[in-house]
């Protein structure tokens, strides 16, 4: 039906800090979702090639520490340069299976010199074209030791059947103004991606849904001690303080009334599939629409800078 959308939440673990093997896992999930006739598949924050869990385990804030420098360099080498075609195989599968994709990556941004990395949320449409790359505006706490600040260029929404879909990374979902920027573009299906765990998703998913009167899809990854590859640099030091479970999932969906459609799913590896009905958006906007009939732009208004930031502008 035109007013419904079949969504797959890919709650999987990366092959940690190994972009080649993690891409293979992502491709398998897309193929599986395509066979199940899903129209959108969502992956967690920084899944490709993984979240920087070592920062909390190896004294990440200690100045000039060799272990952190070497792990950072390994991380950068396994991050994604979109401009060189490293997502081409994923785009090809999107087109082949007519499935849109939201994918959390570590982006090694060519327009910022190619040495710094950004937690980016990439949207690929059903024709296999990359339509937006949203670099996380504000890395959280220890993430700032390895991730760079993003910009507003990726604050964009996309048409998907009757839905208007947009997304944010992890704790920037708590930032009222980026949420409002997407609401103002007509977003009614909000994608929130996380590195993992229900302590992130269990409250805010329903809150955003009720605030926006939109569907909210929160997708998290999994990570356990067993998911660290044996050839990871300084693995023994990482595992010395690592808990058995670093990310337990918690992927979930809330409807436009703020109630659960899919409650947080814990410790389950694989696809979580749900069909949603667009008509529920119109039903709940009847009494509240945060940028429509229940707004006062004559009193309060948001200005958004969507210029892609770069240190140098070249005239020719």
Peptide bond into 68 cis (omega under 30): no
Residue 232 pLDDT exceeds 70: yes
How far is the C-alpha of 75 from the C-alpha of 55, rounded, in Å? 12
Residue 91 pLDDT exceeds 90: yes
Query: What's the average model confidence in pLDDT over 40-64?
Result: 95
Work out the percent of the chain whose per-residue pLDDT is above 70.
100
Work out the percent of the chain whose per-residue pLDDT is above 90.
96
Fold of the 4-285 domain: Nitrilase/N-carbamoyl-D-aminoacid amidohydrolase (3.60.110)
Note the pLDDT of residue 313.
87
Note the pLDDT of residue 164.
98
Q: Are 47 and 221 in contact (CB under 8 A)?
A: yes
Dump pLDDT digits (tens) for 184-222.
999 999 999 999 999 999 999 999 999 999 999 999 999
Nearest Cα residue to 241 out of 60, 66, 64, 16 = 60
Q: Are 120 and 145 in contact (CB under 8 A)?
A: no
Note the pLDDT of residue 314.
86
Dump pLDDT digits (tens) for 244-293.
999 999 999 999 999 999 999 999 999 999 999 999 999 999 999 999 99
The pair of three-digit structure tokens given for residue 259, joined into one six-digit string: 């109630």
Note the pLDDT of residue 315.
86
pTM attached to this predicted model: 0.96
CA 194, distance to chain mean position in Å, is: 6
Dump pLDDT digits (tens) for 26-36.
999 999 999 99
Dump pLDDT digits (tens) for 161-180.
999 999 999 999 999 999 99
Grade residue 1 by pLDDT with cuts at 50, 70 and 90. low
Coil, helix or strand for 41?
strand
């Amino acid at each position: 039906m035109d007013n419904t959308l079949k969504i797959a939440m890919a709650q999987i673990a990366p092959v940690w800090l190994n972009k080649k093997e993690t891409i293979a896992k992502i491709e398998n999930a897309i193929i599986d979702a395509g066979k199940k006739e899903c129209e959108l598949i969502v992956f967690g924050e920084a899944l490709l090639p993984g979240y920087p869990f070592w920062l909390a385990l190896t004294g990440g804030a200690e100045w000039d520490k060799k272990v952190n420098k070497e792990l950072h360099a390994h991380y950068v080498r396994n991050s994604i340069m979109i401009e060189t075609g490293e997502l081409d195989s994923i785009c090809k599968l999107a087109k082949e299976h007519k499935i849109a994709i939201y994918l959390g990556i570590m982006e090694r941004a060519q327009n910022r010199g190619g040495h710094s990395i950004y937690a980016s949320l990439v949207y690929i449409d059903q024709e296999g074209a990359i339509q937006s790359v949203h670099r996380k505006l504000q890395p959280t706490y220890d993430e700032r030791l390895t991730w760079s600040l993003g910009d507003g260029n990726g604050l964009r929404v996309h048409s998907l059947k009757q839905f208007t879909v947009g997304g944010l990374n992890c704790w920037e979902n708590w930032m009222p103004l980026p949420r409002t920027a997407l609401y103002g573009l007509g977003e009614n299906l909000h994608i929130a991606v996380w590195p993992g765990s229900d302590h992130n998703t269990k409250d805010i998913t329903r809150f955003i849904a009720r605030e926006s009167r939109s569907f909210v899809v929160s997708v998290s990854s999994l990570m356990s001690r067993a998911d660290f590859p044996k050839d990871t640099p300084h693995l023994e030091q990482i595992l010395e303080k690592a808990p058995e479970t670093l990310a337990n999932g918690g992927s979930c969906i809330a409807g436009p009334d703020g109630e659960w459609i899919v409650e947080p799913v814990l410790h389950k590896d694989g696809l979580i599939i749900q069909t949603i009905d667009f008509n529920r958006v119109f039903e709940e906007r009847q009494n509240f629409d945060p940028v429509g009939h229940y707004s006062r732009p004559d009193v309060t208004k948001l200005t958004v800078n969507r210029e892609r930031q770069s240190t140098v502008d070249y005239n020719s």
